[in-house]
Amino acid sequence: MTFDLTPEQDQLRDAVRALGRRYGHSYFVAKAKSGEHTTELWTEAGQLGYLGVNIPTEYGGGGGGITELAIVCEELAAAGCPLLLLVVSPAIAATILSRHGTEEQRKRHLPGLADGSQKIVFAITEPEAGSNFHRLGTVARRDGDEWLLSGRKCYISGVDEADHVLVVARTEDAATGKLKPALFIVPTDAAGLTRSKLDMEILSPENQFLLYLDDVRLPADALVGESLDAGLPALFAGLNPERITVAAMGAGTGRYAIERASEYTATRKVWGGRTIGSHQAVSHPLAHAAVQVELARLMIQKAATLYDAGRDLEAGVAGNMAKYASGEAAALAVDTAVQALGGAGMTTEYGVATLLGAVRAGRIAPVSREMILNFVAQHVLGQDKSY
């Protein structure tokens, strides 16, 4: 057992950290407040190969795994630039297409995902069903050699930046008559696909949308995989990378907040010339938050290692635990940093309160802390299913 990164992973971490710090949190905030996207950072990260670290080399990627992509997510977040679309496009979409797409789909989409020139976002959540794919209302039906998709999706990130959206729908199994999940690659400019921007109380350059699919007509090759049988394994192939990279982004955000607060408390002097960090009422909460973030990072590393080793069931447990631990730790770290800075913590200048909305959302999405506890109770502790 080792907790050391390989030399290549160390180099990746250092390089991504340098890139992130060159842009910094002020860049992230300025883009978010102006309604713009972090296009320059995304483009440069793609050109440098960081967006495609987990994509096979034959499609222009780095040939690494989710471990490497988690490093990218964490280090950009630790520099104050947590990019949500790293989770959606390289982690979810690229993994699904790499593992379950047809060869034509891989050739068509993976090179662009690797260099950042293409983005594919992910649409599973619905207003009524949430992310319970057993109850999805979006339905795909055959019409000759084509497909027609109808339904609604909500909280879909980055549709305005993407070329395609990976839509999870239900199809009817001709043999059994039962509905089963399937994934479709839908151009964001497809006829019948419309969107409505959701106003969110989160400072982020990435927007959230409601999607409406009204008999969106798709060619046969829009179906991910060679047949409908690919739907369920393809769906699950994207969920573990999603949880792991979201967790990595949360851990990076926690590190960023603790670093900003520690710099402040180590130099701020009041009441007799002592730094406020010399008082345990200030330093202990920060130390506690640092411990929680580091514990989350260990679980993220374990989950990514299991996933890259092909141990999907174990990675599912570890990935959910990592997401839970990171969500709690990031929220604690940002809140503690704000408290340590006092009034300064609520200013834009000091750059910690700007993350309050994002880390609070991290305890809800992409899966809530309560659903993770349900999962752990059932699959780890052997309890009866509670829902």
Closest-CA residue to 332 (of 304, 309, 363): 363
What sections of 103-230 are H helices per DSSP?
103-115
Report the chain's terminal Cα–Cα distance, integer Å. Answer: 37
- Mean pLDDT over 18-26 rounds to 98
Tell me what pLDDT residue 132 has.
Answer: 72
Which residues neighbour 178 within 8 Å (Cβ) at sequence distance 6 or greater? Answer: 172
Q: In which band, very low, low, confident or very high, does the pLDDT at 177 lie, cut at 50, 70 and 90?
A: low
- Report, as an integer, the average pLDDT of 235-252: 96
Q: Which amino acid is at 213?
A: L
Q: What is the mean pLDDT of the chain?
A: 96
Percent share of the chain, pLDDT over 70: 98
363-375 pLDDT, tens digit per residue, is: 999 999 999 999 9
CA distance 231 to 224: 7
pLDDT of residue 174: 60
Q: Which residues pair with 120 in a beta bridge?
A: 164
Model confidence at 131: pLDDT above 70: no
Which pLDDT value is given to residue 92?
Answer: 98
Q: Average the pLDDT over each of 41-55, 112-126, 127-141, 157-171 and give the range with the smallest value.
A: 127-141
Contact, 249 vs 77, CB < 8 A?
yes
CA angle 64, 68, 70 (to 5 degrees): 140
Band of the pLDDT at 175, cuts 50, 70, 90? low
E strands of 75-226, at which residues?
120-123, 139-143, 146-157, 164-172, 179-187, 193-198, 208-218
pLDDT(133) > 90: no
Does the structure show a pLDDT above 90 at 223? yes
Q: 30-39, 154-163, 266-275: which has the minimum mean pLDDT?
A: 266-275
- Structure confidence at residue 356 (pLDDT): 98
For helices 312-341 and 369-379, what crossing angle results, to 10°?
A: 140
Query: E strands, the chain, where?
Result: 120-123, 139-143, 146-157, 164-172, 179-187, 193-198, 208-218, 269-270, 274-275
Q: Across residues 189-203, what is the average pLDDT?
A: 98
